[in-house]
Protein backbone atom coordinates (compact mmCIF):
# COMPACT_ATOMS: atom_id res chain seq x y z
CA UNK A 1 0.00 0.00 0.00
CA UNK A 2 1.23 3.43 -0.85
CA UNK A 3 1.69 6.18 1.68
CA UNK A 4 -1.76 7.44 2.47
CA UNK A 5 -1.19 10.85 0.95
CA UNK A 6 -0.09 9.21 -2.28
CA UNK A 7 -2.99 6.82 -2.01
CA UNK A 8 -5.28 9.77 -1.45
CA UNK A 9 -3.96 11.53 -4.53
CA UNK A 10 -4.57 8.37 -6.53
CA UNK A 11 -8.06 8.10 -5.14
CA UNK A 12 -8.79 11.73 -5.85
CA UNK A 13 -7.50 11.34 -9.40
CA UNK A 14 -9.73 8.34 -9.85
CA UNK A 15 -12.66 10.25 -8.42
CA UNK A 16 -12.81 7.60 -5.76
CA UNK A 17 -15.44 7.50 -3.08
CA UNK A 18 -17.27 10.71 -3.70
CA UNK A 19 -17.39 14.44 -3.74
CA UNK A 20 -18.50 16.38 -6.78
CA UNK A 21 -15.17 18.16 -6.69
CA UNK A 22 -13.38 14.83 -7.07
CA UNK A 23 -15.62 12.58 -9.13
CA UNK A 24 -13.92 12.84 -12.48
CA UNK A 25 -16.88 13.02 -14.75
CA UNK A 26 -19.00 15.12 -12.45
CA UNK A 27 -15.96 17.33 -11.93
CA UNK A 28 -15.49 17.72 -15.65
CA UNK A 29 -19.11 18.74 -16.04
CA UNK A 30 -18.87 21.32 -13.28
CA UNK A 31 -15.65 22.69 -14.76
CA UNK A 32 -17.22 23.28 -18.14
CA UNK A 33 -20.52 24.91 -17.25
CA UNK A 34 -21.71 28.05 -18.97
CA UNK A 35 -21.99 31.18 -16.80
CA UNK A 36 -25.73 31.40 -17.49
CA UNK A 37 -26.27 27.94 -15.99
CA UNK A 38 -25.67 29.43 -12.54
CA UNK A 39 -27.95 31.70 -10.55
CA UNK A 40 -26.91 34.15 -7.88
CA UNK A 41 -28.59 33.89 -4.49
CA UNK A 42 -31.00 36.66 -3.60
CA UNK A 43 -29.43 38.14 -0.43
CA UNK A 44 -32.94 38.78 0.88
CA UNK A 45 -33.46 34.99 0.84
CA UNK A 46 -30.22 33.99 2.55
CA UNK A 47 -29.87 33.74 6.31
CA UNK A 48 -26.36 33.90 7.80
CA UNK A 49 -25.86 32.20 11.15
CA UNK A 50 -22.56 32.82 12.94
CA UNK A 51 -21.67 30.11 15.45
CA UNK A 52 -19.67 30.40 18.67
CA UNK A 53 -16.37 29.72 16.92
CA UNK A 54 -17.06 32.29 14.21
CA UNK A 55 -17.96 29.73 11.55
CA UNK A 56 -20.81 30.84 9.32
CA UNK A 57 -23.71 28.75 8.12
CA UNK A 58 -25.71 30.02 5.14
CA UNK A 59 -29.31 28.94 4.63
CA UNK A 60 -31.30 29.70 1.49
CA UNK A 61 -34.99 30.27 2.03
CA UNK A 62 -37.67 28.74 -0.21
CA UNK A 63 -40.26 31.53 -0.38
CA UNK A 64 -42.29 29.68 -3.00
CA UNK A 65 -43.11 27.10 -0.36
CA UNK A 66 -43.18 28.79 3.04
CA UNK A 67 -43.69 32.54 2.67
CA UNK A 68 -45.43 32.99 6.02
CA UNK A 69 -42.86 31.15 8.10
CA UNK A 70 -40.01 32.82 6.26
CA UNK A 71 -41.52 36.28 6.83
CA UNK A 72 -41.85 35.51 10.52
CA UNK A 73 -38.27 34.22 10.72
CA UNK A 74 -37.05 37.41 9.04
CA UNK A 75 -38.97 39.49 11.55
CA UNK A 76 -37.25 37.54 14.33
CA UNK A 77 -33.83 37.86 12.69
CA UNK A 78 -34.24 41.60 12.17
CA UNK A 79 -34.97 41.99 15.89
CA UNK A 80 -31.68 40.12 16.56
CA UNK A 81 -33.84 37.48 18.20
CA UNK A 82 -31.40 34.62 17.64
CA UNK A 83 -28.26 36.42 18.84
CA UNK A 84 -26.98 34.63 21.93
CA UNK A 85 -29.44 31.74 21.66
CA UNK A 86 -28.11 28.19 21.27
CA UNK A 87 -28.00 24.80 19.65
CA UNK A 88 -30.57 22.94 21.75
CA UNK A 89 -30.73 19.47 20.30
CA UNK A 90 -28.59 17.14 18.22
CA UNK A 91 -30.15 13.74 17.66
CA UNK A 92 -27.89 11.35 15.81
CA UNK A 93 -28.94 10.48 12.27
CA UNK A 94 -31.82 12.93 12.58
CA UNK A 95 -31.70 16.66 13.34
CA UNK A 96 -29.75 19.54 14.84
CA UNK A 97 -32.15 22.12 16.33
CA UNK A 98 -31.59 25.64 17.65
CA UNK A 99 -33.53 28.32 19.49
CA UNK A 100 -34.12 29.77 22.94
CA UNK A 101 -33.04 27.45 25.79
CA UNK A 102 -35.52 29.32 28.01
CA UNK A 103 -38.45 29.25 25.59
CA UNK A 104 -41.68 28.82 27.52
CA UNK A 105 -40.21 30.00 30.81
CA UNK A 106 -40.64 33.50 32.29
CA UNK A 107 -37.08 34.21 31.12
CA UNK A 108 -37.91 33.41 27.51
CA UNK A 109 -36.81 35.97 24.97
CA UNK A 110 -39.69 37.97 23.54
CA UNK A 111 -40.71 37.26 19.96
CA UNK A 112 -41.32 41.01 19.63
CA UNK A 113 -43.42 41.80 16.60
CA UNK A 114 -43.16 38.23 15.27
CA UNK A 115 -46.07 35.88 15.74
CA UNK A 116 -45.87 32.78 17.92
CA UNK A 117 -47.95 30.63 15.60
CA UNK A 118 -47.75 30.44 11.83
CA UNK A 119 -50.15 28.31 9.89
CA UNK A 120 -48.54 25.20 8.36
CA UNK A 121 -47.09 25.46 4.86
CA UNK A 122 -46.70 21.80 4.00
CA UNK A 123 -47.30 21.86 0.25
CA UNK A 124 -48.36 24.06 -2.63
CA UNK A 125 -50.70 23.29 -5.49
CA UNK A 126 -49.14 22.01 -8.72
CA UNK A 127 -48.65 24.93 -11.04
CA UNK A 128 -47.64 27.21 -8.18
CA UNK A 129 -44.01 26.07 -8.38
CA UNK A 130 -41.74 24.68 -11.11
CA UNK A 131 -40.79 21.00 -11.08
CA UNK A 132 -37.91 19.20 -12.78
CA UNK A 133 -38.55 15.49 -12.43
CA UNK A 134 -35.94 12.93 -11.45
CA UNK A 135 -36.43 9.75 -13.45
CA UNK A 136 -35.72 7.01 -10.92
CA UNK A 137 -38.82 7.28 -8.78
CA UNK A 138 -39.19 7.23 -5.04
CA UNK A 139 -40.43 5.09 -2.17
CA UNK A 140 -42.58 7.83 -0.62
CA UNK A 141 -44.11 9.94 -3.41
CA UNK A 142 -45.53 9.63 -6.92
CA UNK A 143 -42.74 11.77 -8.39
CA UNK A 144 -39.65 13.43 -7.02
CA UNK A 145 -37.39 16.10 -8.46
CA UNK A 146 -36.40 19.68 -7.91
CA UNK A 147 -38.37 22.86 -7.43
CA UNK A 148 -36.98 26.39 -7.22
CA UNK A 149 -33.60 25.06 -6.10
CA UNK A 150 -34.77 22.48 -3.59
CA UNK A 151 -35.46 18.74 -3.52
CA UNK A 152 -39.20 18.21 -3.86
CA UNK A 153 -41.92 15.64 -4.35
CA UNK A 154 -45.20 15.76 -6.24
CA UNK A 155 -48.47 13.95 -6.57
CA UNK A 156 -51.48 14.66 -8.77
CA UNK A 157 -52.39 17.79 -6.81
CA UNK A 158 -49.49 19.15 -4.79
CA UNK A 159 -45.74 19.82 -4.67
CA UNK A 160 -43.78 19.79 -1.42
CA UNK A 161 -40.22 20.08 -0.19
CA UNK A 162 -38.57 16.89 1.08
CA UNK A 163 -36.51 16.19 4.19
CA UNK A 164 -33.17 15.53 2.51
CA UNK A 165 -29.85 16.10 4.27
CA UNK A 166 -29.35 19.81 4.93
CA UNK A 167 -33.00 20.83 4.66
CA UNK A 168 -34.15 23.31 7.30
CA UNK A 169 -37.56 23.35 8.96
CA UNK A 170 -39.66 24.95 11.66
CA UNK A 171 -39.91 23.02 14.91
CA UNK A 172 -43.42 22.65 16.22
CA UNK A 173 -45.39 20.99 19.00
CA UNK A 174 -48.43 18.85 18.37
CA UNK A 175 -50.70 21.46 16.80
CA UNK A 176 -49.91 22.13 13.13
CA UNK A 177 -49.81 25.89 13.73
CA UNK A 178 -47.60 25.65 16.82
CA UNK A 179 -44.39 26.51 14.97
CA UNK A 180 -43.22 30.11 14.66
CA UNK A 181 -39.70 29.76 13.25
CA UNK A 182 -38.19 30.73 16.59
CA UNK A 183 -36.94 27.15 16.76
CA UNK A 184 -35.42 25.68 13.61
CA UNK A 185 -33.93 22.29 12.74
CA UNK A 186 -31.75 20.86 10.01
CA UNK A 187 -31.65 17.25 8.80
CA UNK A 188 -28.24 15.70 9.64
CA UNK A 189 -28.80 12.06 8.72
CA UNK A 190 -30.56 9.77 6.33
CA UNK A 191 -33.49 11.62 4.76
CA UNK A 192 -36.36 11.81 7.27
CA UNK A 193 -39.03 11.59 4.61
CA UNK A 194 -41.79 10.64 7.05
CA UNK A 195 -41.66 14.27 8.18
CA UNK A 196 -42.60 15.51 4.70
CA UNK A 197 -45.91 17.42 4.77
CA UNK A 198 -45.99 17.14 8.54
CA UNK A 199 -43.81 20.11 9.33
CA UNK A 200 -42.89 23.27 7.45
CA UNK A 201 -39.60 23.25 5.55
CA UNK A 202 -38.25 26.74 4.90
CA UNK A 203 -35.00 26.16 3.01
CA UNK A 204 -31.66 24.40 3.00
CA UNK A 205 -28.09 24.90 4.11
CA UNK A 206 -25.98 26.08 1.18
CA UNK A 207 -22.71 26.56 3.08
CA UNK A 208 -21.40 25.40 6.45
CA UNK A 209 -23.47 22.23 6.75
CA UNK A 210 -20.40 20.38 8.07
CA UNK A 211 -20.58 22.53 11.18
CA UNK A 212 -24.22 21.79 12.01
CA UNK A 213 -23.75 18.06 11.52
CA UNK A 214 -20.71 17.62 13.79
CA UNK A 215 -21.90 18.91 17.15
CA UNK A 216 -21.79 16.33 19.93
CA UNK A 217 -25.05 14.41 20.08
CA UNK A 218 -27.22 15.49 23.01
CA UNK A 219 -27.62 12.99 25.81
CA UNK A 220 -31.18 13.89 26.83
CA UNK A 221 -34.39 12.50 25.31
CA UNK A 222 -34.63 13.25 21.56
CA UNK A 223 -31.01 14.40 21.63
CA UNK A 224 -31.71 17.55 23.64
CA UNK A 225 -28.69 18.88 25.50
CA UNK A 226 -28.99 18.55 29.23
CA UNK A 227 -26.48 21.34 29.77
CA UNK A 228 -26.09 24.21 27.32
CA UNK A 229 -22.37 24.72 26.70
CA UNK A 230 -20.89 28.08 25.61
CA UNK A 231 -19.57 26.39 22.45
CA UNK A 232 -23.19 25.88 21.46
CA UNK A 233 -24.07 29.57 21.51
CA UNK A 234 -25.22 31.30 18.34
CA UNK A 235 -23.34 34.58 17.99
CA UNK A 236 -25.75 36.11 15.54
CA UNK A 237 -28.23 35.45 12.75
CA UNK A 238 -28.63 38.00 9.97
CA UNK A 239 -30.32 38.28 6.61
CA UNK A 240 -27.57 38.57 3.99
CA UNK A 241 -29.28 41.60 2.43
CA UNK A 242 -28.70 43.48 5.70
CA UNK A 243 -24.94 42.83 5.61
CA UNK A 244 -22.54 45.07 3.67
CA UNK A 245 -22.53 43.89 0.06
CA UNK A 246 -24.66 40.85 0.93
CA UNK A 247 -22.00 39.52 3.29
CA UNK A 248 -20.89 35.93 2.65
CA UNK A 249 -23.73 35.40 0.18
CA UNK A 250 -21.98 37.70 -2.28
CA UNK A 251 -20.58 35.77 -5.21
CA UNK A 252 -22.20 32.52 -4.15
CA UNK A 253 -24.08 30.78 -6.96
CA UNK A 254 -26.25 27.69 -7.42
CA UNK A 255 -26.33 25.51 -10.53
CA UNK A 256 -29.78 25.93 -12.07
CA UNK A 257 -31.82 22.75 -12.00
CA UNK A 258 -33.10 23.62 -15.47
CA UNK A 259 -29.56 23.68 -16.89
CA UNK A 260 -28.08 21.13 -19.28
CA UNK A 261 -25.13 20.70 -16.93
CA UNK A 262 -27.40 19.73 -14.03
CA UNK A 263 -29.05 17.04 -16.16
CA UNK A 264 -25.62 15.75 -17.16
CA UNK A 265 -24.47 15.82 -13.56
CA UNK A 266 -27.38 13.62 -12.52
CA UNK A 267 -26.46 11.12 -15.25
CA UNK A 268 -22.84 11.21 -14.11
CA UNK A 269 -24.00 10.27 -10.63
CA UNK A 270 -26.41 7.59 -11.84
CA UNK A 271 -23.57 5.97 -13.75
CA UNK A 272 -20.11 6.85 -12.59
CA UNK A 273 -17.52 6.62 -15.30
CA UNK A 274 -14.45 6.74 -13.13
CA UNK A 275 -12.39 3.60 -12.80
CA UNK A 276 -12.97 3.10 -9.07
CA UNK A 277 -16.54 1.96 -9.76
CA UNK A 278 -16.85 -1.59 -10.98
CA UNK A 279 -20.62 -1.54 -11.06
CA UNK A 280 -22.88 1.36 -11.99
CA UNK A 281 -25.98 2.00 -9.92
CA UNK A 282 -27.89 3.13 -13.03
CA UNK A 283 -30.17 4.99 -10.62
CA UNK A 284 -30.06 7.70 -8.02
CA UNK A 285 -32.42 8.61 -5.26
CA UNK A 286 -33.56 12.16 -4.71
CA UNK A 287 -31.50 12.92 -1.64
CA UNK A 288 -28.27 11.69 -3.23
CA UNK A 289 -28.39 14.26 -6.01
CA UNK A 290 -25.92 17.07 -5.31
CA UNK A 291 -27.21 20.63 -5.67
CA UNK A 292 -23.95 22.39 -6.53
CA UNK A 293 -23.08 25.74 -4.99
CA UNK A 294 -19.93 27.68 -5.93
CA UNK A 295 -18.24 30.97 -5.40
CA UNK A 296 -18.30 32.73 -8.73
CA UNK A 297 -14.98 33.28 -10.42
CA UNK A 298 -13.97 36.95 -10.26
CA UNK A 299 -14.93 38.89 -13.37
CA UNK A 300 -12.11 38.77 -15.96
Question: Does residue 43 interact with its own copies by CB under 8 A?
Answer: no
Among 278, 297, 298, 300, binds its own copies (CB under 8 A): 278
Among 40, 84, 108, 263, binds its own copies (CB under 8 A): 108
Among 59, 168, 209, 239, binds its own copies (CB under 8 A): 209
Residues 183 and 97: beta-carbon distance below 8 Å: yes
CA–CA gap between residue 278 and residue 282 (Å, rounded): 12
Question: Does residue 125 interact with its own copies by CB under 8 A?
Answer: no
Question: Does residue 292 interact with its own copies by CB under 8 A?
Answer: no
By C-beta, is 14 or 243 nearer to its own copies? 14
b/e for 282-293, b at 16 or more Cβ within 10 A? eebebbbbbbbb
The contacts of residue 18 (CB under 8 Å, 6+ apart) are none
By C-beta, is 179 or 246 nearer to its own copies? 179
Dihedral angle computed from the Cα positions of residues 163, 167, 171 and 174, in that order, rounded to the nearest 10 degrees: -10
Question: Does residue 285 interact with its own copies by CB under 8 A?
Answer: yes
List strands edge to edge, sheet with 167-170. Answer: 86-91, 95-99, 184-187, 167-170, 201-207, 56-61, 46-51, 234-239
Question: Does residue 92 interact with its own copies by CB under 8 A?
Answer: yes
Phi/psi class of residue 21: alpha, beta or left (left: φ > 0; alpha: ψ in -120 to 50)? alpha
Residue 18, SS3 per DSSP: coil
Question: Does residue 124 interact with its own copies by CB under 8 A?
Answer: no
Question: Does residue 112 interact with its own copies by CB under 8 A?
Answer: no
Residues 147-206 that bind its own copies (CB under 8 A): 164-166, 173-174, 176, 178, 180, 182, 189-194, 196-198
Residue 37, SS3 per DSSP: helix
Question: Does residue 104 interact with its own copies by CB under 8 A?
Answer: yes
Which stretch, 65-73, 74-82, 100-108, 238-246, contacts its own copies (CB under 8 A)? Answer: 100-108
Question: Does residue 101 interact with its own copies by CB under 8 A?
Answer: yes
Residue 14 CB, shortest distance to its own copies, in Å, is: 5
The contacts of residue 152 (CB under 8 Å, 6+ apart) are 129, 131, 144, 145, 146, 159, 160, 161, 162
Number of H-type helices and E-type strands within the chain? 5, 16
Question: Does residue 132 interact with its own copies by CB under 8 A?
Answer: no
Residue 172 CB, shortest distance to its own copies, in Å, is: 8
Residue 122 CB, shortest distance to its own copies, in Å, is: 8
By C-beta, is 47 or 287 nearer to its own copies? 287
Helix axis angle, 24-31 to 260-270, nearest 10°? 170
Among 39, 217, 256, 294, binds its own copies (CB under 8 A): 217
The contacts of residue 221 (CB under 8 Å, 6+ apart) are none
Among 28, 80, 84, 93, binds its own copies (CB under 8 A): 93
Among 80, 128, 142, 283, binds its own copies (CB under 8 A): 283
Question: Does residue 55 interact with its own copies by CB under 8 A?
Answer: no
Amino acid sequence: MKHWLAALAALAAAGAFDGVANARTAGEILNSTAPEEWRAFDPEQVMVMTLADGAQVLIEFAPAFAPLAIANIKTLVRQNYFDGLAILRVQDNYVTQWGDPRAGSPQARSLGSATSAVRPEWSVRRGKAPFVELRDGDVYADDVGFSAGFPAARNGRDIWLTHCYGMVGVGREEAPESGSGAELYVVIGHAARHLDRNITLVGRVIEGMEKLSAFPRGTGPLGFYEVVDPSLTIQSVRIAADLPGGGPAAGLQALKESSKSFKELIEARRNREDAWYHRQADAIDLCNVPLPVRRAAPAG
